[in-house]
Amino acid sequence: MTGPQPKDWIKAIHPYVPGKSTTDSGRKAIKLSSNENPLGTSDHARAAFAAHAGELERYPDSGATALREEIARLNGLDADRIIYGNGSDEVLHLAAGAFAGPGDEIIYVNYGFAVYEIATRRVGATPVIAPDKDYATDVDAILACVTARTRIVFVANPNNPTSTYTPREDIARLHAGLPSDVLLVLDHAYAEYLDEDEDDGGFALAQAAPNVLVTRTFSKIYGLAAERIGWGTAAAPIIDAMHRIRLPFSITIAGQNAAIAALKDQDFVRASRAHNAKWRAWLADEIAKMGNQGLRAIESKANFLLVLFEGHVSAETAYQGLMDRGYIVRWLPGQGLPHGLRITIGTESETLGLAAALREIVGG
């Protein structure tokens, strides 16, 4: 006798593999594998979390009303057109669950965020991978993949794990080229790291168009990764459909209040952005100096670098060598990048130490 069998499309899923927190031997190390904020989180957010951490017997507000109102206030949006989730991952899954299923297709770019494939296969849809352009999103390649079966296009901007950015005019061209019944999902997990004059127009499209969803997260620049808080905004019918399958209590009371306090502390956001810009540029310069050893960093608009190993030292060798020296980064063979390491921008001392360890490994 056999037990219940999962659907074929579920068996085709490769489970998400998070960044390591310890070395292979179990030793703690400097973790630069998960794109966490090296400055921690806002003191105001931490205090708000602590103030509400004792309400363990109470269900949280199922609508996250105060949080949605604060998000709307800060970003000039309509609170009724905002949905929240357990990280932006849940919001991405809600989009796939509400608008795609068996027989449908979902497009995402080569070297796209791993959750896109999982969300696609989870609902029985067919993943369609659009070719990249030197590790970046290629709008024409995406449009060439669109068929009558296309239901969703996922685009991370900036992209993870490549750190590339698609400018506003290209996003507008992509949207204009899609049929009106195809949902364009713009994943803005790293958008707060962009310069203030950089904007891909996602929020404007989500307010004006019937087929655009923009997602964001508190896990990155706001430093609330442990609480798993994400959100999205779109036209009312899109949000209504996603609400029908949303988990009702997926953000804790303490988490909601911490997120509200984090939104109000934009000084912390600016400090995080400035720190990231300074040390990202510094580390990119250091990688460029190792170019004669075959190292190349893709131009980054996020809080990490994708470093390619195209010389005598492989990415796997560098990954193990960094781990031996107390630094954990993200090696990416599972995402088609066996020659790449994704390296989070850490504190000043972590970044300096990482660069020194890498120079020692490659002989640069």
- Three-state DSSP at 357 gives helix
pTM assigned to the model: 0.94
pLDDT at 20: 67
The set of residues, in sequence order, having a beta carbon less than 8 Å from that of 299 and lying 6+ positions away, is: 163, 164, 284
pLDDT at 6: 86
pLDDT at 211: 98
The predicted-structure confidence for 39-97, as pLDDT tens digits, reads as follows 999 999 999 999 999 999 999 999 999 999 999 999 999 999 999 999 999 999 999 99
Give the residue from 358, 355, 345, 363 showing the smallest Cα distance to 39. 345
Whole-angstrom Cα distance, residue 55 to residue 52? 6
105 neighbors 126 (Cβ within 8 angstroms):
yes
In the chain, which segments carry CATH 3.90.1150.10? Answer: 8-40+267-362
Q: Which of 25-34, 128-137, 247-256, 332-341 has the lowest mean pLDDT?
A: 25-34
pLDDT at 25: 67
The predicted-structure confidence for 230-252, as pLDDT tens digits, reads as follows 999 999 999 999 999 999 899 99
The mean pLDDT value for 155-174 works out to 97
pLDDT at 74: 97
In the chain, which segments carry CATH 3.40.640.10? Answer: 43-264
DSSP 8-class letter at 171: H
- The CATH superfamily label for domain 8-40+267-362 reads Aspartate Aminotransferase, domain 1 (3.90.1150.10)
pLDDT at 21: 66
pLDDT at 237: 98
The predicted-structure confidence for 295-312, as pLDDT tens digits, reads as follows 999 999 999 999 999 999
Tokens 């990249």 locate to: 132
CATH number of 43-264: 3.40.640.10
DSSP letters spanning 236-300: HHHHHHHHTTS-TT-S-HHHHHHHHHHHH-HHHHHHHHHHHHHHHHHHHHHHHHTGGGTEEEPP-
The mean pLDDT value for 93-116 works out to 97
